[in-house]
Amino acid sequence: MTDITDIRTHPDGSIDYGFYMAQGRRARSQVAHDMINATTEATSRKARTLGQYFSQLFSRPRPVLG
Instruction: Dump pLDDT digits (tens) for 11-57.
Output: 999 999 999 999 999 999 999 988 888 887 777 777 677 777 777 77
pLDDT of residue 1 exceeding 60: no
Nearest CA among 19, 8, 5, 41 for reference residue 27: 19
pLDDT of residue 58 exceeding 90: no
Range list of β-strands (E), 1-66:
none
Separation of alpha carbons 30 and 19, rounded Å: 17
